[in-house]
Amino acid sequence: MEEWREVPGYPGYKASNLGNIQGKWKRNMKGNLDGDGYLRSVFTVNKLPLSRKFHHIVAAAFLGPKPHPDWQIDHLNRNRQDNRVENLEWKSPTDNAANTGVSKNCKSGVKGLTFQPFQGGRHWCNARWNCKIVRSGVCHLKYFPEDQRPDAEAWLIAKRQELNIPL
């Protein structure tokens, strides 16, 4: 069931737990996608037009103010257009960054897994798989020989589960 709440600091606007926003004329606002894929619209407050992202408005109504000035709103399912309250959560920048998918530049296809080829010379190193997870400012590293990619992937999965990081 859709629940509506007044949005603090935005008189005349209401947000719903399903991610909808009603304007001053009691109609749902449509919004536009910005360059980062978030829904955004213009809100008039004290006769001033303010461009705001929908998830910030929904969070203001249901999650309350930012717990810390640096914190961000995380879309838990990684869908930037899904602004339902159950999909939004305040997180530190580090924890928010941990909830991302595989980068388009990731050649291994697995987040946190990179291949380091053989390096000769002064900094000699055998070819290896590097596993890296950063959580709450702590870096978890492990290295695996070139022929042990399945073990490296299994370690990453186990470590993510241990740290409660979505796969």
Is residue 38 in some structural domain? yes
Q: Domain of residue 126: give its range.
A: 113-162
Scanning 8-148, the segments in alpha helix (DSSP H) are 54-62, 93-98
Number of domains in the chain: 2
Do 68 and 26 belong to one domain?
yes
Do 78 and 130 belong to one domain?
no
Do 80 and 50 belong to one domain?
yes
Do 19 and 68 belong to one domain?
yes
Give residue-wise pLDDT tens across range 47-86. Answer: 999 999 999 999 999 999 999 999 999 998 889 999 999 9
Torsion region of 109: left, alpha or beta (phi above 0 gives left; psi -120 to 50 gives alpha): left
Is residue 104 in some structural domain? no
Do 8 and 85 belong to one domain?
yes
Check: pTM over 0.75? Answer yes or no. Answer: no
